[in-house]
Amino acid sequence: MSTRIYLEGGGDSKYLRTRCQEGFHKLLKKQAKLDRRKPRLIACGGRGSAFDRFKTAHHQSGSGEFVAMLIDSEDPVADIEKTWEHLKKRDNWDKPDGASHDQVLFMTTCMETWIVADRATLKAHYLKLKINKLPPLTDLENRNRHDVQNRLSEATKDCTNNYEKGKRSFEILGKLNPATLSDHLPSFKRMTRILSEKL
């Protein structure tokens, strides 16, 4: 089965979209089952653009193809298996005909939630990391995305490579440990399960 995943990230810059795809590829490659057959990753810039491109690809896909989108949930998700209900309630996005819940993969609530979940990688990457500024690991996916993002920025502000969205965010993304993310983030564990089944 061929697999395409439309990613939120990379903005309007071709350079940043390439860095985005590289970061996600590096992360997914570390999963043993996902390394055998890599999905095709397409960085789309904004969240709405990822949804639009997903809808087009979904309608054009044939048998033997799995099309999905990987986007920020933006807010905590009531039931991670009912992704379209979340998108309808939060964004008023309608589920395309024939689409399934498995075709929506969430970074709950944002990519920075993934990053703050892996303390070992953070400490290795940011030598002057103020770990006490990071949010607690418990119940990370129910934290407000702005709080998570602000705490990550605060924890790395004294580092020469302090956290910034863009190239630096995708660099640290590619270094994360999938096993650690699965331990702390139910939505990441769900994504891994779905992709393992589809690849």
What is the tens place of the pLDDT at every residue in 44-62?
A: 999 999 999 999 999 998 8
Q: What is the mean predicted confidence (pLDDT) over 149-170? A: 93
What is d(CA 36, CA 50) in angstroms, rounded to the nearest whole number?
Answer: 25
Position 104 in a domain: yes
Position 146 in a domain: no
What is d(CA 62, CA 17) in angstroms, rounded to the nearest whole number?
Answer: 26
Cβ atoms of 43 and 23 closer than 8 Å: no
Position 31 in a domain: yes
Position 119 in a domain: no
The angle at the Cα of 132, spanning 166 to 190, to the nearest 5 degrees, equals: 55
Q: Above 80 in pLDDT, residue 199?
A: no
Position 166 in a domain: no
pTM above 0.75, yes or no: yes
Please report which confidence band the pLDDT of residue 141 belongs to, taking 50, 70 and 90 as the band edges: very high
Per the prediction, the chain carries an average pLDDT of: 94
What is the tens place of the pLDDT at every residue in 116-137?
A: 999 999 999 999 999 999 999 9
In terms of DSSP H, where are the helices of 68-160? 83-91, 111-117, 119-125, 145-156
Domain assignment of residue 35, given as a range:
2-112+177-198
Q: Above 90 in pLDDT, residue 31?
A: no
Q: Above 80 in pLDDT, residue 37?
A: no
Domain total of the chain: 1
Please report which confidence band the pLDDT of residue 32 belongs to, taking 50, 70 and 90 as the band edges: low
